[in-house]
A = this chain, B = another copy of it.
Amino acid sequence: MKGKMQGVTLVADWAPKPGFKLGAKDLEGRQTYLGSQVWKDPRIEMREYDIPTPGPEEVLLEVKACGICGSDVHMAQAEPDGYIFYPGLTGFPCILGHEFSGVVVEAGKNAFDKRTNKAFKGGEPVTSEEMLWCAQCRPCADGQPNHCERLDEVGFNVNGAYAKYMVLPSRTLWSLEPLRKLYKGDDIFIAGSLIEPTSVAYNAVIERGGGIRPGDRVVILGGGPIGLAACAILKRAGASQVIISEPQEERTKLALQIGADYAINPFKEDFAERVLEITEGMGADLFMEATGLPTVVYPGIERVIWEGRTLNSRIVVTARAEAKMPVTGEVLQVRRASIIGAQGHSGHGNFPRVIECMASGMDMTRISTKKVSLEEIPANILKLQADRSQCKITYVAS
C-alpha cells in the first residue's frame, strides 16, 4: 500500500551523561538500553511517514485502538536536568504506542496466522505483543522471550501504533476473532488494546506467581491498569477474597467493579491491620506489588505475612523499581514465603489465555475511561504527567 500517514513521534537529543558507555545493543546516536542516561529534551511531534511495507514474515496493520501507557508519559517527561524519566530501551525518533489492536491489511507470504495455522489474510482483527523477541538468543531458545537478549520493543525503538498503519512480525500477533461474539463495534478493538497490559498482569500473577487455587486470598497493591487487571484475573481464578490497596477513589471504584471484593485506602487506614481484619487473621496467599514504591509497601506486606497464619505466601514484584526493599529472611522462613520478580507479557500461553478470558466474559473495557483521536494524543500524554484521574486513555481510530 502506498501513501503517507501521520505518526505521534518522540524526539530527543542524544546526549549521554558523563561516564556512559555504549552497551552491547546500543547504537551511537540512535538507540540505548539506558534511556534516562542518554536522551535529553524530549518532545512529541506529529511527523509524516510513508506507509510502511511488510517483509515476507511481516504484516501491515491498520491501527484501530491504542492505549496510552505510563511509559509513553515517562519518555516524554524530563527531569529538571533535561533527561527523560524512562530508564529503559529507547531509540528515537520513534512513533510511540504499544498497547494496540488493528486489522490486517497486507501480509508477507510467510506471515503465519496462529489462529488458523495458515497464512495471514486481510481483515483479521489482531493485537500484538509489544516485545519483539528475537527467537534465536539463548533465553528465546529456552522459552523465555520476556528476557530476550536481542529484544526490540514496539513504540520504544521500533515504530509503534500512534499512526494509521504499522508493520509487525507475524510471530507476535494474536487474532481477536474470539472476541467477536461478546464485543461489538469499537469494543472489540478497545478490548484488544487492553490485552497487552492485561497480559503483563497475567504473566505476573499466573505465570510467575504460580497462580492460585480456588479459595485462596489475594492482595493487590496499586490500582493502575496492571493492578486492576490483576484484580480481574485473580477473581476469575477463584480467589475467595480480592483486596485492593489504592489511595485514589476513582481507581478503587474500578477495582471493585472489575473483581476486587475489598478496598483499602493506605493513606487513611493501616494496611496490615485491615488485611488481617478482612481475612480474619489469615493474611493472603498472593501479594502483587504494583505501586512502584516497594520500599514503602514492603513492611506492610511483611507484617501481614508475619502476623497472618497463611503459609506459602508469594509476593510478586511487578512494578519496576530499583529501590531496595528491607526484607527479613526470618519472615520468609517462618511462613514459608517467597518473593518473585515478574517482567513482560510474552510466551507461556499468556496472550491466548487472556484473549479467552476476555472472550468468555472478563470485560476490561471499563478501565478505558477516556477516548481520544490521533491528534489529541500528544496533549493527553503531557496531561498524564500530572493528572492521574483517568485510568486508561485510549486512542480510537476514526
Contact = CB atoms under 8 A, between A and B. Distances in A.
A356 B310 CA distance: 13
Interface string A327-368: 111111111111111110011110111111101101000000
Contacts of A140: 135, 171
A398 interface: no
Contacts of A52: none
Given A238-B236, A241-B360, A352 B215 contact: yes
A232 to B, nearest CB: 9
A124 interface: no
Contact of A325 (B57, B142, B327): B327
A208 interface: yes
A322 interface: yes
B211 A206 contact: no
Interface in A12-45: 24
A36 B333 CA distance: 19
Contact of A114 (B138, B147, B206): B138
A70 interface: no
A153 interface: no
Contact of A330 (B141, B321, B328, B331): B321
Nearest to A205: B214
Contacts of A354: 215
Contacts of A122: none
A354 B238 CA distance: 11
A114 B309 CA distance: 11
Contacts of A63: none
Contacts of A311: 139, 142, 144, 147
Chain A's interface size range is: 35 or more
Given A112-B150, A136-B170, A339-B332, A359 B240 contact: yes
A274 B37 CA distance: 29
Contact of A317 (B141, B215, B332): B332
Contact of A353 (B169, B214, B334, B348): B214
A341 B333 contact: yes
A130 interface: no
Contacts of A289: 329
Contact of A335 (B147, B150, B238, B323): B147
A350 to B, nearest CB: 9
Task: Please indicate which of the listed interface residues A142, A144, A169 has the most CB atoms of chain B within 10 Å of its own CB.
Answer: A142
A327 B353 contact: no
A149 interface: yes
Nearest to A234: B214
A146 interface: yes
Contacts of A341: 329-338
A130 to B, nearest CB: 14
B336 A325 contact: no
B320 A333 contact: yes
Contacts of A322: 328-330
Nearest to A110: B136
Q: Which 6 A-B pairs have the closest CB atoms?
A: A332-B341, A215-B353, A143-B143, A215-B356, A136-B171, A135-B135
Given A142-B348, A214-B236, A261-B360, 20 more contacts: A114-B137, A135-B135, A138-B352, A142-B347, A147-B311, A206-B213, A213-B349, A215-B353, A215-B354, A215-B357, A216-B356, A236-B238, A240-B357, A318-B333, A325-B327, A330-B341, A333-B341, A333-B342, A334-B341, A336-B341
16 contacts: A112-B134, A115-B138, A117-B149, A139-B311, A144-B311, A144-B336, A147-B311, A147-B335, A208-B336, A215-B354, A237-B237, A317-B332, A320-B329, A320-B330, A322-B328, A329-B341
